[in-house]
Structure 1
Amino acid sequence: MSTVAELIVEALANHGVTSIWGVVGDALNPVTDAIRREDRVEWIGVRHEEVAAFAASAQAQLTGDLAVCMGTVGPGSIHLLNGLYDAKKSHAPVLAICGQVPLPEVGTDFFQEVDNNRLFSDVAVFAETVTSAEQMPHLLEQAVNAALGARGVAVLTLPGDVGGLDVAKGALPPRFVPPAHPAAASPEAIQAAADAIGADAKVTLLVGCGARGARAEVLRLAETLAAPMVLTLKAKEGFEHDNPYAVGQTGLIGNPAATSAMDDADVLVLVGTDFPYRDWIPTGKTVIQLDSRAEHVGRRTAVAHGLVGDAGATLRALLPMLTSREPGRHLQKAQERYEEWMQAQRKLADPDHDESLLGRLRSKADNPDELIRPEAVAMAVDRHAGPDTIFTSDTGMSTVWLARLVPMSDNRRLIGSFNLGSMADAMPMALGAQALDRSRQVVAFCGDGGLMMLLGDLRTAVTYDLPVTFVVFNNGRLGMVKLEQEQGGLPEFGTVLDNPDLAAVGAALGLTTRRVTDPQDLDEAVAQALSSRVPYLLDVVTNPDEVAVPGRTKPSQAWGFAIAKAKEHIVSR
């Protein structure tokens, strides 16, 4: 005979869950005690439950399978919400086990009581409370099957007097079912899309992470249509390497080649993407959208032909219907512009850039203190990181530098809060990634603002021997907000961060650390950090005035930036 808590933990271990993240306490004590006695599952106790949820979200995104976090009664569960919203918007299957007050106290406004079913109703595809041992294993099955089938968050709430109850004799073990088998879009829709593409239209592909399992088919599509391929940030890891058609990202983090490739096209083919930025999808094009989720089709731009189905299966049916064409000026122009832009980025990353004539002129305006340029940090990390490194990044400018300057090889992975856009995700996601495999290199691109939000959980890396390299872009700013203000013509306000010595703080928390202020020391410092196999914080003091020009700059943005810099100069005088 087993208890409700033991049944849950054993079933999760049988499914393949290897770690559970959270903070111990009251209602969940039976569960953590069951974890203590289950050798196949590692308990990782964090300092803040938000870290637990982000770590679980990262694990689910990396494996495609269930990950688990826990939060106890009231505040403990509430703290999970931000990370769980990240999992929801990333379509990551996560089970959150949450505590509740004892059953007789439910509904009495008891100490720490929160209505979990209502609290999690928006973030979860399943949210129910176990009120008797007789409901097990059925409620657990429903929770896990919902998370796996709908690729989202399931919340199972355990009152304090339920986890220790004995499950009925003869109760069957939980059975978790696999997701539905993917199928192609309808033949009629595929034929209509082929007809719309025709024989000579200029085609550009916008490819997202939903096409990750169809890399070969997407590359054949680009080759057949001689089409440049614009990648979303989340598609970078699956499609950037060995891909002559890739021309980088569009949007605020993108480049002019990708923007013009979309602007110049007659037909846009969106494959496995819910790219949200309407302003960056040109109008007046014939748009074909292929997605496994019908609700994604047409919600960002007007779609002439919607294909609902698995990317690989649908493209295998579509390709024989298309007329192959020779590479033309449309593809060549995008490739040439992309290479020119990349060469300019590489020049900025050269430690001696600001010593050249052009560099000295530019640095007087944007780097008068001769601080390290963030482009140089990103490219140094790329040089010394391994071919199977997992990268995480904070939302903001650290993501810009990673997206532009760190290519994803065949086995590199990239995760971040790319749909929710939360700050402070890089460090906890890196912890989650590292716990999956402590021998694999994990590098977190941390903004100083994001890192300071959840700083205490740097200690979790030390406690559980998680040898993450935390690279901090320490520009003393909320950099993306600064750029937003300036592009709108506003002087910078409220973005300056009076950071402590982050290397010293990291050392006090038990990490190996180094602070870098001289561009000439950067390459050696990055090499040292990445060659270590201990939790390492590399605190790089970077230029706060570095300008990340988007792929398309409106005159109003340029004018607003000029006005903002003038206002800042007047204030500083």
Structure 2
Amino acid sequence: MARTVAQVIVDALEELQVKHVFGVVGDALNPFTDAIRRAETVEWVGCRHEEAAAFAAGAQSQLSGTIGVCMGTVGPGSIHLLNGLYDAAKSGTPVLAIAGQVPLADVGTDYFQEVDNDLLFRDVAVFRATITSPAQLPGLLEIAVRSAIGRGGVAVLTVPGDVGDQEVPDDRPARLSLTRPSSRPDDPALDEAAELINSADRVTLLVGRGARGARTETLALAERLGAPMVLTLKAKEGFEGDNPFEVGQTGLIGNPAAAWAMDHADALVLLGTDFPYRDWYPDGKKVVQVDTVAEHIGRRVPVDVALTADVGPTLRALMDRVEPSEDRSHLDGARERFATWQKAQHRLAAPDHDRGLVGKVRSALDNREHLVRPEALALAINEVAADDAVFTSDTGMATVWLSRFVRMHGKRRLMGSYNLGSMANAMPQALGAQFLDRDRQVVAFCGDGGLSMLLGDLITIRTHRLPVKIIVFDNRRLGMVKLEQEQVGLPEFGTELDNPDFAAVATALGITGIRVTHSGELIDGVNRAFSTPGPVLLDVLTNPEEIAVPAKPTVEQGWGFAIAKVKEMLRSPGETD
């Protein structure tokens, strides 16, 4: 029996073991949603916004290792996919987007809702094509899927409204098998890298997501060199648990120990990272970089030896070439500083911090309303969350607190918009993650600004009774923007949010809502949230004046904050400078 264009594509999704397709129904998608309705293993998830659908699909791709799938109908429906697709593209995870289009005969006539999808998705997609004839399948689908998986990106297939239900003449199954390549450098390049490393007295490793599949080899190299290991945010997952070399993150969300380890090294070895913040790379260091993507090499910091290859095979080949170091002073110095910083952070995050002498003095300056300190909230979540919990975090201060106080030990997973830096990603990514495994704990660290941006898809969580734990860092601010303004001496402006009671909103939607307004209520509120079955939204009023001190605070930043605070105190009501 001949199959339609839509049926061929849905059958291929089943072969790829795709479990969910996220989107908003619409006329051009009707053949696809009908095929999914009849499918045995693929479920249609109707979202309230296509952006949420694309975020959810990207999250599933990152967690499952297969391709994520989302759909948007003609014009605005497809346009709404863009932000979530950009996040997938920047995260290097494969997503297939099916985009609707006007009937074939009307393409190019400025028809109602017509948008040039091939132009629209040109920048975000590694492959894009419009199906103009059923005879193009299954070949065009095979190219799209292999492009997305092989290149770690987004593929977009546009389907005109009158093409999806046409029969495909070549009724053969799509051939979608694809083996990811693995490579190691040539011997001369390995010898050059080893020579540089052996000539250095103090080596520091900067480890990124690309090394997560080579944990054993990376730890072995750190042991051989006595090297402290600075982690990027994406390397928290996979390298924080049981790691005697870890010294945390660098950058604005980092700590002094990681900055010290970078600054006091003679040589830096970058493993699977494209850490983008140039100001946080120290000058005058010898640098070896290992990355599978050639254009990543040297674009952040000058590189002396470039190894364009996979981290695992590279380190296995490099290990015997590298001389073992008996000197542990560089590693010990970084680890001692890291332990000291961690203890200080935990004291700050204690729920009773503001009741002590130091806390009372500090709160008189920056927390007069005795609101919950966000550090305390993040640490409390860390202590009750499961060892295999999946965490998502909104861009901004929610990510700062997660990075400092949530440890990715055990089998915990972590996702966020850490390359695109979008708002509103945490809740829809958690939605996608929870669909994969309803029995696994999923925790979303949401900013109040991010949550309210895509608030409608709380209804999707309610509809499907997904047991997501949504934690709202409710400081009534766009907190990171506030911090950026004050850092350069500007008074806070345009960042204040007139929030509702998010717990009451959740309750109205049929989700358990819990609201915490003072530190004395925090532990009970967190315990209730995690012990309550089903979806829960925990709305915690956090201190908007909390400052995340960067790893290397400067005098200029200190003066900036001082000037900003003076301006804020002296500004007349309604004054806008």
Distance 2:130 2:510 in 1: 40
Contact 2:397 2:480 in 1 (8 A): yes
Contact 2:92 2:152 in 1 (8 A): yes
Is 2:5 aligned against 1:4? Answer: yes
> Cα distance, 1:403 vs. partner?
0.3
In the alignment, the residues of structure 1 paired with residue 175 and residue 464 of structure 2 have an alpha-carbon distance, to the nearest angstrom, of 31
Q: Is the 8 A contact 2:3 2:171 kept in 1?
A: no
Match of 2:40?
Answer: 39
CA–CA distance in 2 between the matches of 1:289 and 1:41? 41
- Unaligned 5+ segments in structure 1 are none
Q: Tell me if the contact between 2:200 and 2:267 (Cα under 8 Å) persists in the aligned partners.
A: no
Q: Hey, what's the Cα distance between the residues in 2 that align with 1:572 and 1:327?
A: 60
Q: Secondary structure at the match of 1:193?
A: helix
Q: In 1, Cα distance between the equivalents of 2:107 and 2:234?
A: 42
- 563-572 or 504-513, which moves further after superposition? 563-572
Q: Return the offset for 1:572.
A: 6.2
Q: For the residues of structure 2 that align with 1:428 and 1:414, how far apart are their CA atoms?
A: 14
Q: CA deviation at 1:533?
A: 2.7
Matches within 5 A, 1:477-488: 477-488=477-488
Q: 8 Å contact 2:102–2:114 — kept in the other structure?
A: yes
Provide, for residues 212-269 of structure 1, a one-character-per-residue CA deviation record: whole Å limited to 9, x for no partner.
1000000001111101100000000110110011000000000010011101100000
C-alpha distance after superposition, 1:474-523 (max 9, x if no partner):
00000000000000000000000010111111111111110001212211
Question: How far is 1:532 from its partner?
Answer: 2.4
Deviation of 1:530 after TM superposition, in Å, equals 1.3
1:84, 1:153 within 8 Å by CA — same for their partners in 2?
yes
Alignment of 1:242-257 (within 5 A): 242-257=242-257
Task: Give the whole-Å Cα distance in 2 for the aligned partners of 1:116 and 1:530.
Answer: 43
1:88-131 deviation per Cα after TM superposition (whole angstroms, max 9, x unaligned): 00001000000000000000000000000110010000010000
1:392 touches 1:430 (CA, 8 Å); kept in 2?
A: yes
1:260-279 maps to which residues of 2 (within 5 A)? 260-279=260-279
- What residue number does 1:342 align with? 342
Aligned to 1:512: 512
Query: Aligned runs of 1:219-230 on 2, under 5 Å?
Result: 219-230=219-230
**Matched residue, 1:375:** 375
Q: CA deviation at 1:64?
A: 2.1
2:442 and 2:341 map into 1 onto residues whose CA distance is 28
Cross-structure match for 1:140: 141
| Matched AA of 2:307 | L
Q: For 1:466-545, what aligned pairs fall within 5 Å after superposition?
A: 466-545=466-545
- Greater displacement, 553-562 / 93-102: 553-562
Instruction: Give how far 1:410 is off.
Output: 2.5
Structure 1 position 568 matched with structure 2 position 546: no
CA distance in 2, matches of 1:433, 1:251: 28
**3-state SS in 1 of match to 2:141:** helix
1:414 paired to 2:414: yes
Q: 2:559 matched to which residue of 1? A: 559
Question: How far apart in 1 are the matches of 2:293 and 2:260?
Answer: 28
2:71 matched to which residue of 1? 70
Counterpart amino acid of 1:482? Answer: K
1:247 is paired with a residue whose SS is: strand
Distance 1:516 1:488 in 2: 32
1:309 partner letter: A
1:485 maps to amino acid: Q
Task: Give the match for residue 82 of structure 1.
Answer: 83
8 Å contact kept, 2:393–2:446: yes
Match of 2:297 in 1: 297
Give, as a single letter, the amino acid of the residue that structure 1 aligns with 2:193: A
Q: Percent of aligned positions with the same letter in both sequences?
A: 62
Alignment partners' CA distance in 1, 2:208 and 2:37: 40
Distance in 2 of aligned mates of 1:116 and 1:123: 11
Whether 1:128 and 2:118 are equivalent positions in the alignment is no
Contact 2:16/2:66 (8 A) holds in 1: no
Instruction: Report the 3-state secondary structure (helix = DSSP H, G, I; strand = E; otherwise coil) of the residue aligned with 1:537.
Output: strand
Q: Which runs of 5+ in 2 are unaligned?
A: none
2:458 counterpart letter in structure 1: L
Matches within 5 A, 1:85-234: 85-168=86-169, 170-198=170-198, 200-234=200-234
Contact 1:199–1:322, Cα closer than 8 Å, also in 2: no
> Is the Cα–Cα contact under 8 Å of residues 506 and 512 in structure 2 kept in the other structure?
yes
Q: Distance in 2 between matches of 1:2 and 1:532?
A: 46
- Are the equivalent residues in 2 in contact too, given 1:116–1:157 (CA < 8 A)? yes
Contact 1:291 1:297 in 2 (8 A): yes
2:422 aligns to what SS in structure 1?
coil
* Offset of residue 199 of structure 1: 5.3
Of 194-203 and 467-476, more deviation after overlay is shown by: 194-203
How much is the aligned-residue C-alpha RMSD, in angstroms?
0.9
Q: What are the Cα deviations for residues 452-489 of structure 1, in whole angstroms up to 9, with x where unaligned?
A: 00001001001112110000000000000000000000
2:395 maps to 395
- Given that 2:200 and 2:266 are in contact with CA atoms closer than 8 Å, whether structure 1 keeps it comes out as no
CA contact (8 A) 1:148 1:179 kept: no
**Contact 2:52/2:428 (<8 A) preserved:** yes
Indicate how the Cα distance of structure 1 residues 327 and 408 shifts in structure 2: closer, same or farther if over 3 A, else same. Answer: farther
Distance 1:416 1:109 in 2: 38
How far 1:200 sits from its partner (Å)? Answer: 4.9
Would the aligned equivalents of 1:27 and 1:73 in 2 still touch at CA under 8 Å? yes
Measure how far apart 1:348 and its partner are.
1.2
Return the alpha-carbon distance in structure 1 between the equivalents of residues 180 and 536 of structure 2: 42
- Equivalent AA in structure 1 for residue 379 of structure 2: M
